[in-house]
Amino acid sequence: MYKNGTVVSIADKMAVIEVIRTSACGENCASCKGGCQTNGILVKVENTLEAQKGDIVRIDADTKRVLKFSSVFYLIPLVFLMVGILGTSVFLKGSDLVSLLVGTLLLAISLFLIHKLTKDSHINFKLTSVIRRF
């Protein structure tokens, strides 16, 4: 998986690269009239190319790791939310409000756990990327 981006700053052998996200309409916003804005995201990558500010580079990342991160950061909170809502509703015969509150609580717990896991040094959740010349 790769994305093209522009180097916006260099610090301590690391390059900060702005990558423009692809919009849902495939960058043809005039055709869908959705008024979408494509905001850039900043990615910090080791500057192995000695790239300078303003250079256009390509960021390569392992597709399997990207999918792993996507599943962790998107699916786990969704599963916690659904288990909270459905579990409370089916097994405890709770009201809709109680089910929603339990689901929201479990969602918050899952986000807290993901935050803790990504900050822990013994669990490698770092997405290593490589920059290449365009």
**Are 75 and 28 in the same domain?**
no
**Are 84 and 41 in the same domain?**
no
| 133 inside domain | no
Supply the pLDDT for residue 107.
Answer: 95
Domain with 53, as residue range(s), is 2-61
Domain finish residue from 61, 78, 97: 61
Cite the DSSP H helix spans in 6-95.
Answer: 29-32, 63-70, 76-91
Residue 88, pLDDT > 50, answer yes
- Among residues 36, 37, 40, the alpha carbon closest in space to that of 21 is found at 40
| 8 inside domain | yes
**Are 71 and 121 in the same domain?**
yes
Q: State phi, psi for 122 to the nearest 5 degrees.
A: -85, -5
Give the whole-angstrom CA distance, residue 111 versus residue 77.
Answer: 6
Q: State pTM to two decimals.
A: 0.57
Give the whole-angstrom CA distance, residue 119 versus residue 109.
Answer: 15
Domain finish residue from 16, 34, 61: 61
**Are 57 and 102 in the same domain?**
no
Question: pLDDT digit string (tens) for 14-44?
Answer: 888 888 776 666 656 666 666 666 677 787 8
